[in-house]
Chain A
Amino acid sequence: MVKKQKIESGALAQSVNRAWVFDRVAKGIVFIGGISAIVFIISIFIFIFDQGMGFIAEDLKPGEFFGSEIWRPTSESNPTYGILALIAGTASITGLAMLVSVPFSLGAAVFISEFATGRVKEGLKVLIELLAAIPSVVWGFIGLSIMNPLIVQLFDVPIGLNMLNAGIILGLMAAPIMTTIAEDALKAVPDGYREAAEAMGATRWQVIRRVVLPSARNGLGAAILLGVGRAFGETMAVLMASGHAINLPTSPFDSVRALTATIAAELGETARGSTHYEALFTIGIFLLLITLCINLLADLVIRGGWKRRKL
Chain B
Amino acid sequence: MAKLSKLLLPALALGLIGLSSCGRPAEGSGRSIIRNIGSDTLVNVAQSWSEAYGTVHPETQVAVSGGGSGTGISAMIDGTVDIANSSREMKSQEIEAAKKNGVQPLKHVVGFDAIAVYVHKDNPIEKLTLAQLASIYGEGGNITKWSQLGVKLSAKADNIVRISRQNNSGTYSYFKSVVLGKAGEYKLGSLDMHGSKDVVEQVSLTVGAIGYSGLAYANDHVRMVPVVNESGAAVGPSVESAMDNSYPIARPLLMYTAGEPTGKIKEYMDWILSDEGQKILRDKGYASVR
Contact = CB atoms under 8 A, between A and B. Distances in A.
A45 B17 CA distance: 15
Interface stretch (A23-31, A112-120, A284-292): A284-292
A169 B25 CA distance: 41
A287 B1 CA distance: 20
Interface string B4-29: 10111111111101101111000000
Interface stretch (A6-14, A53-61, A200-208, A267-275): A267-275
A226 interface: yes
B21 A41 contact: no
A45 B12 CA distance: 10
A268 B21 contact: yes
Interface string A257-282: 10010011111111010001000010
Contacts of A269: 21, 166, 168-169
A72 B185 contact: yes
B161 A265 contact: no
B10 A233 contact: yes
B167 A158 contact: no
A244 B165 CA distance: 10
B31 interface: no
Contacts of B185: 72, 75, 77-78
B91 interface: no
B193 interface: yes
A47 B21 contact: no
A233 B188 contact: no
Q: How extensive is the interface on chain B, given as a class?
A: 35 or more
Nearest to B1: A37
B44 to A, nearest CB: 8
Contacts of A243: 191
Q: How extensive is the interface on chain A, given as a class?
A: 35 or more
B116 to A, nearest CB: 21
A-side binding surface: helix, strand, loop or mixed?
helix
B192 interface: yes
B168 A74 contact: yes
Nearest to A244: B192
A281 B18 CA distance: 9
B183 interface: yes
A157 B166 CA distance: 24
Interface string A159-174: 1110000000000000
25 contacts: A41-B11, A47-B15, A48-B15, A76-B182, A149-B205, A158-B157, A158-B206, A158-B209, A159-B191, A230-B6, A233-B6, A233-B10, A243-B191, A244-B166, A244-B191, A245-B192, A247-B188, A255-B191, A263-B17, A265-B166, A267-B14, A269-B21, A269-B169, A292-B7, A295-B7
Given A152-B205, A263-B14, 10 more contacts: A40-B8, A72-B188, A157-B156, A159-B191, A160-B205, A244-B193, A245-B192, A246-B190, A255-B189, A284-B11
